[in-house]
Structure 1
Amino acid sequence: MAGGLTIGQAAGFVGVTIKTVRHYHRLGLVAEPERDISGYRRYGSADLLRLVQVRTLAGAGVPLAEIRDLLDAGPERFTAALDDVHHRLTEQIEELIARRDMLHRLAHGDRALLPDRACSVLDRLADLGFSPDYVAGQREALVLARALVPEIFDTFLTRLEHSLDDPESVELTKRGWDARSWEPDDPRIEELASTLAGKLLTNRTLLAMPTEFRNKSDAASRYGLVNHHREDQAPSIARLNALVEANLRAAGIDIPHH
């Protein structure tokens, strides 16, 4: 077209809106063509080339405030600037992926607060036939443990993993959960506590508390909040846990207590 293109035609050819072209003009990214004798601005091939360059860079994530200097720069500076944009875009992509993964984890409740290893333990509990209430309680305890006693969190997970590998431990744990329906003075609780403690003592290494945790002035409070979570809902479980801890202490295990 010998007379050049109107702004609408130029925008359509380049793949942007008229509003976008005018925005580029206001920012000084693309010079406004001179008006013809009819009073219309006509866009030539050089103008379209500039529009395509600006549109392409903007679409690639280059901030509009940087495009003018970039297009007016020499080849070396242009390449360096593009490398910088590439680096920033990569960081943004990584951040978006992290956000997407967090949203995925949020769709699974408290799993957003737990590492994959802990989530795997919870999955195993469900696969082994533990009730949803028990799994929910363990999920809450793991969230608390990670926040309140991070020094022993990995050891706690390892202890759980070992117990789930042992069918006898699994059955004892299920029996302990069933004990919530017993009376607190049921004589079976004392017997079960002794058996549970004996099972735990077969791997004393996993019961050891790190020095940096034992030396904390509030270690007992932190540990108690985790290990005695939900006990107020089941007095028999509270007694069972107290007896297990007493048996472990009698065997020389240093368990924080008030």
Structure 2
Amino acid sequence: MEARFPKLSVEKEFAQVTSRAETAGKTDQQALHAVLSKPENRYLARQICWVLSIQGLETYILLPRDPVDISQLLGAIRPTPSPDDIDVVVGLRGPIAPPEFCNGLMVPIVMFDQIYSFDREALIKSIPKPEKIDAKEFRPAAEELFDRIIQMTDNAGAMDEHRALNYLAVRYPTVYATAAAAFGRSSSLTAIDVRPSLLSSVRKIVEVIFCFTSRQTDVTEKFFCRVDVTEEFPFLVTKMSPYYDR
């Protein structure tokens, strides 16, 4: 998440406010966080353009559906940012921003309802460890699966398959237990497939299939769960279970 000044006047106003604040010894990012975090400076936070980048690419401009939720944006601005910082945004994608909206940046606008801000380390630590799997084995397995999901090509959270995967990555710990158990059987994660479910009729449901191939026998076993992606908030339809090709 990045805060930008959409207009010169907003940038100058921020500079004036900063000049009156105690910022000695602070980096630019720390000074930005300190100034915008003060309640009396919320008017500046509402004027700023908030940009979400994915894999280094400017992808969305964020707007709160409710003005009160500006605090969620402020919470995403870390005093000391790290490459492992993660922001999960839940909202509705709107039109492309006009050039004057954010200093010439023309990307889709997202009206958000929720923002979850955390770092990779905190997420991995929060995943419940299965009783039968050693912690030294579970942590690397969880890290690898999480990285595989977020680094999938063109995963900007706009397609149904990516929305389902992103939901599972942060809301369904069983996917990590499944991967860890497969690695423990000396299998490799060879594919993650997402396809429409036969259960889809009125609602849009997808099947997320995890494929693990034995390193000794080259036999592939598959596990899957179903996720409903009809509306803004995805949810689990069926729990993880073995998958058999039709």
Task: Give the strand-richer structure, 1 or 2.
Answer: 2
- TM > 0.5: no
Look at both structures and tell me which one has the larger radius of gyration over its CA atoms.
1
